[in-house]
Structure 1
């Protein structure tokens, strides 16, 4: 009889080497008919050698790539939050500032920069009553309608577009605006807030002077006016006062949502962390599987079973007990479907799908004590 020396781990390594060389048969079928299943990639590996296999290198690379993508998306959301914060700062400054003459704000017809968004500008001129434009699909207070844009001719012959306000659709036809009050006749002094030329939508001017966007270069070509093409103005006040009938476009300072972008930035970082956590959990599970014969790993597994057995019963377990009349033995380290029976004064665990004589000793017997003593008169055992 061959005598082996060394630790159990050394013996297992030697056994695996014999099995690789064909000198040791694989284990026979178990009583339930199940045979041992081997992973041909990691078979024979001990410790954390599996991390050097092509499979696990791929897993690690995928986790790193996923984390890089998440970090880039997080940075993108953070940058968007920074841009929104800067835009809010510009708008707050312009809303608090006094109006300046249009000649100072827009020295050329094409002048405009992002720092002038919602800047107050004073303009003097005469409305061109025959050239009203109506912008479709504009909401106000949750209702869809139209915005009325009227050219204002300045003393130097140039023309500046004024968005005079919002009007609801006609009661008879939702595709047409309701009654539009005429602009003030003669010279008017207006204070407007600058808005940039919009991206083009649709084909431009439609029937009845309707347009889909205030795209100033396109309107200049269509109207032939010497038009300001960098910005137009949203009416804030006018002297003499405007006739009633149009709702103001912007009565309060607009504020872009910043918190959502920063929240998404943190979420993407959290997703990157989840990827590494999943990788770590998978590596831990593989380590435990490959080193199940290691005495130290067996000891740690037994401690985990003990710890799990001492946990309070979950609501699902208590519900199963109420319905089935018993608790599954998986929390005590036995496979699903196993049962414990008393045989000749000793406990034996019967494995699922096993023959009548297929019984093994349970790993341990755990005594579960109540968390507190029962109250007097309580008949619960």
Structure 2
């Protein structure tokens, strides 16, 4: 009975992982379709959390002014095998609100971890091409997190709004290089990797669960049926 339960449970977990992979594939397709929709502007950009979820991966074109005094460097954010920072700066919009922008990536100094790399931030109005993303992923912090200063391990919208006093839209924008414009003039890299939905990971887990289920089935077949029959055939007293 225990063996049958183990076989059924592992098979069920395998199908559950396949179902999760299918859900992630549907989400990936949905967000890819959103990326093909017309670009949002300040008037149509989300003002509520519910709207921001529906706008994930949408393209955005905005005009505004940077708030460089509120720039934050998120530490331990690798790119192409290098350790560095994600640079986040609020962009003030004409209606008085602001939006937090992940502007790009810069490498960290190899010897001085607290040395800030140079990042050029224009003083006047700027035009921005970006994509709507979720809040930056949270990293595990050892000890007390740094609550002030430009270098942080993590940053959420509530903290950014409280520290800056800005009325932040409930989303984060990932800045993109505009077509026809030179990239890297501000010292930032923006060759962002494609979003990872973890589809292959779910397929891998499903394969592991199905392998365990198959192993359990094989052992049950061997010890519960084949081995006793072979033993009885070879027993001279039977």
- Give the TM bin, normalised by the shorter chain: 0.7 to 0.9
Please report how far the alpha carbon of residue 249 of structure 1 lies from its aligned counterpart in structure 2 after TM superposition: 5.0
- Residue 89 of structure 1 corresponds to 29
Give aligned pairs, total: 230
- Residue 103 of structure 1 corresponds to 43
Please give the alpha-carbon distance, in whole angstroms, between the structure 2 residues aligned to 1:223 and 1:257: 34
Measured at CA, do residues 287 and 213 of structure 1 come closer, stay the same or move farther in structure 2, by a change above 3 Å? same
- Paired residue secondary structure (1:174): coil
Please give the alpha-carbon distance, in whole angstroms, between the structure 2 residues aligned to 1:82 and 1:96: 22
Measured at CA, do residues 219 and 255 of structure 1 come closer, stay the same or move farther in structure 2, by a change above 3 Å? closer
Alignment RMSD, CA only? 2.8
- Residue 127 of structure 2 corresponds to 189
2:166 to 213, 225, 233: 225
Please give the alpha-carbon distance, in whole angstroms, between the structure 1 residues aligned to 2:186 and 2:37: 27
2:100 to 144, 148, 161: 161
- Residue 211 of structure 2 corresponds to 270
Is the contact between residue 91 and residue 254 of structure 1 (CA under 8 Å) also seen in structure 2? no
Measured at CA, do residues 200 and 169 of structure 1 come closer, stay the same or move farther in structure 2, by a change above 3 Å? closer
- Paired residue secondary structure (1:142): coil
Please give the alpha-carbon distance, in whole angstroms, between the structure 2 residues aligned to 1:293 and 1:170: 79
Please report how far the alpha carbon of residue 260 of structure 1 lies from its aligned counterpart in structure 2 after TM superposition: 4.3
Deviation string, structure 1 residues 6-64 (Cα, Å, up to 9, x no partner):
xxxxxxxxxxxxxxxxxxxxxxxxxxxxxxxxxxxxxxxxxxxxxxxxxxxxxxx1211
Please report how far the alpha carbon of residue 171 of structure 1 lies from its aligned counterpart in structure 2 after TM superposition: 5.0
Please report how far the alpha carbon of residue 238 of structure 1 lies from its aligned counterpart in structure 2 after TM superposition: 5.9
Measured at CA, do residues 75 and 287 of structure 1 come closer, stay the same or move farther in structure 2, by a change above 3 Å? same
TM-score, structure 2 length as denominator? 0.82
Please give the alpha-carbon distance, in whole angstroms, between the structure 1 residues aligned to 2:221 and 2:237: 20
Please give the alpha-carbon distance, in whole angstroms, between the structure 2 residues aligned to 1:148 and 1:117: 20
Larger of the two Rg values belongs to structure: 1
Please give the residue correspondences for 1:230-309 in structure 2 after superposition, counting only pairs within 5 Å.
230-237=170-177, 243-250=185-192, 253-283=194-224, 284-290=226-232, 292-293=235-236
Is the contact between residue 92 and residue 253 of structure 1 (CA under 8 Å) also seen in structure 2? no
Please give the alpha-carbon distance, in whole angstroms, between the structure 2 residues aligned to 1:231 and 1:249: 21
- Paired residue secondary structure (1:90): helix
Please give the alpha-carbon distance, in whole angstroms, between the structure 2 residues aligned to 1:111 and 1:159: 18
Is the contact between residue 13 and residue 206 of structure 2 (CA under 8 Å) also seen in structure 1? yes
The alignment status of 1:150 with 2:84, answered yes or no, reads: no
Is the contact between residue 204 and residue 218 of structure 1 (CA under 8 Å) also seen in structure 2? no
Measured at CA, do residues 136 and 255 of structure 1 come closer, stay the same or move farther in structure 2, by a change above 3 Å? closer
Measured at CA, do residues 178 and 226 of structure 1 come closer, stay the same or move farther in structure 2, by a change above 3 Å? same
- Residue 19 of structure 2 corresponds to 79
Please give the alpha-carbon distance, in whole angstroms, between the structure 2 residues aligned to 1:136 and 1:112: 29
Please give the alpha-carbon distance, in whole angstroms, between the structure 1 residues aligned to 2:34 and 2:194: 10
Please, which runs of 5 or more residues in structure 1 have no aligned partner?
A: 1-60, 296-381
Is the contact between residue 152 and residue 160 of structure 1 (CA under 8 Å) also seen in structure 2? yes
TM-score, structure 1 length as denominator? 0.54
Higher RCO (CA-CA < 8 Å; seq separation 6+): 2
- Residue 60 of structure 2 corresponds to 121
